Amino acid sequence: MPDYLRRRLLMALAVSPLLPVLRAQASPSVDLSRIIALEWLPTELMMALGVMPMGVAEIYQYKRWVGEPSLPATTVDVGLRTEPNLELISQMKPSLLLYSSGYGPAQEKLARIAPGMGFAFSDASGKPLTMARHSLIQLAKRLDRLPQAQQHLADFDAFIAAARGRIAQRVKRPLLLMSILDPRHVLVFGKGSLFLEVMDALGIANAWQGETNFWGSAVMGIERLAAMQDVDAICFEHGNETLVQQVASTPLWRAMPFVRQQRFRRVPPVWFYGGTLSAMRFCRELDNVLGAV
């Protein structure tokens, strides 16, 4: 296009009443009161920005496995995380659907209802907390809440620094993290987990050095814990008091070194696959129990 025609076109666009419309279509605003989160990581990202979700999947299980931050009483349960109620979601007319990448319905199905945004728990680096920080900034830009994200991350860094000063001096042994799944199996956490990245920042050694999956966790037989010598052990609960009591009453469990040495403590739920808020909750629980193990 000749330069004089290009200049005329730009001048015409500059004074055209259609330009604001075109800009608005290119960068639509998001109604913050009408966002639905189909998985708990994006739910946490929202709440770290001070935005409450209109709908969340599996609220009952959220209360058992995540606990905090608590959801508003007005939050609508939109079904399972793997199979949400798409008809209900469509009727709610969300402005944005948030999901975890590779988890739940196909993006094509969600796109027929509302714009979507997906978040990964981790990547090849195996640092989910770092990934969560990046995800928070991405969401903040989408929701026009970048100052809130920057302030949250600054507060988070200050929180971790203070926690390291308190906790690291009390830790004398590697720390074993687990959750009891059934009478014969536990979930343990190690390389690639959210907890390990936090523990590295706090200067705490992780007791489990074995294999883990993409999520930084591994399911194993309870009997394998008997090989854990000279460790502190923490067990995350998730509304499974009867199961925990059943396991704790067995001779095998009572023979565990960390049980015999009274270095075992139970703590409330902390979401294993969350972000900065879960990391802070984890630190608070460590602060509560490490002085007693």
pLDDT, one tens digit per residue, over 12-48 is 433 333 333 333 333 458 999 999 999 999 999 999 9
Domain interval for residue 88: 32-119
Please check whether residue 62 is in contact with residue 43, taking contact to mean a CB–CB distance below 8 angstroms.
yes
Instruction: Examine the fold and report which residue of 96, 119, 142 is the final residue of a domain before the chain moves on.
Output: 119
Q: Is residue 240 part of a domain?
A: yes
Query: Domain boundary residue among 119, 134, 153?
Result: 119
Percent of the chain topping pLDDT 70: 89
In a domain? residue 148:
no
pLDDT for residue 127 is more than 90:
yes
Q: Which of 38, 30, 29, 27 is nearest to 98 (CA)?
A: 38
Structure tokens at 162: 């203070």
Residue 6 pLDDT greater than 70, yes or no = no
Domain with 97 in it: what CATH number?
3.40.50.1980
Confidence of residue 7 (pLDDT cuts 50, 70, 90): very low
Q: Give me the number of domains the chain comprises.
A: 2
Establish if 67 belongs to a structural domain.
Answer: yes
Confidence of residue 172 (pLDDT cuts 50, 70, 90): confident
Most confident of 21-25, 264-268, 287-291: 264-268
CA–CA gap between residue 60 and residue 58 (Å, rounded): 6
Mean pLDDT, rounded, for 281-289 = 92
pLDDT-derived band at 165, boundaries 50, 70, 90: confident
Let me know if residue 76 belongs to a domain.
Answer: yes
pLDDT at res. 192: 95
Residues 276 and 176 in one domain: yes
285-293 long-range Cβ contacts below 8 angstroms, 24+ apart: 285/234, 286/163, 286/167, 286/202, 286/204, 286/234, 287/163, 287/166, 287/167, 289/234, 289/265, 290/167, 290/170, 290/171, 290/232, 291/170, 292/265, 293/232, 293/233, 293/234, 293/262, 293/263, 293/264, 293/265
Statement to judge: residues 185 and 106 lie in one domain: no
- Written as six digits, the tokens of 202 are 């706090």
Min mean pLDDT across 3-17, 100-114, 133-147 is at 3-17
Q: Is residue 158 part of a domain?
A: no
145 assigned to some structural domain: no
Q: Which residue has the higher pLDDT, 106 or 136?
A: 136
In a domain, 84, yes or no: yes
Do 188 and 101 lie in a common domain? no
**pLDDT digit string (tens) for 246-255?**
999 999 999 9
pLDDT of residue 29: 84
Residue 266 lies in a domain: yes
CA dist 143 and 49 (Å) reads 9
pLDDT digits (tens, 9 = 90+) for 68-126: 999 999 999 999 999 999 999 999 999 999 999 877 788 889 999 999 999 999 888 88
DSSP string, the chain: --HHHHHHHHHHHHH-TTHHHHHHHHS----GGGEEESSHHHHHHHHHTT---SEES-HHHHHHHT--SPPPTTPEE-B-SSSB-HHHHHHH--SEEEEETTSSS-HHHHHTTS-EEEE-S--TT--HHHHHHHHHHHHHHHHT-HHHHHHHHHHHHHHHHHHHHHHGGG--S-EEEEEEEETTEEEEE-TT-HHHHHHHHHT--BS--S---TTSEEEEEGGGGGG--S-EEEEE-SS-HHHHHHHHTSHHHHTSHHHHTT-EEEE----TT--HHHHHHHHHHHHHHGGG-
Q: Are residues 80 and 190 in the same domain?
A: no
Residues 181 and 255 in one domain: yes
pLDDT at 169: 75
β-strand 232-236 against 264-267: which pairing, if any? parallel
Q: Are residues 182 and 263 in the same domain?
A: yes
- From 84, 119, 154, the end of a domain falls on 119
pLDDT digits over 222-250, tens only?
999 999 999 999 999 998 999 999 999 99
- Do 99 and 194 sit in the same domain of this protein? no
pLDDT, residue 291, reads: 61
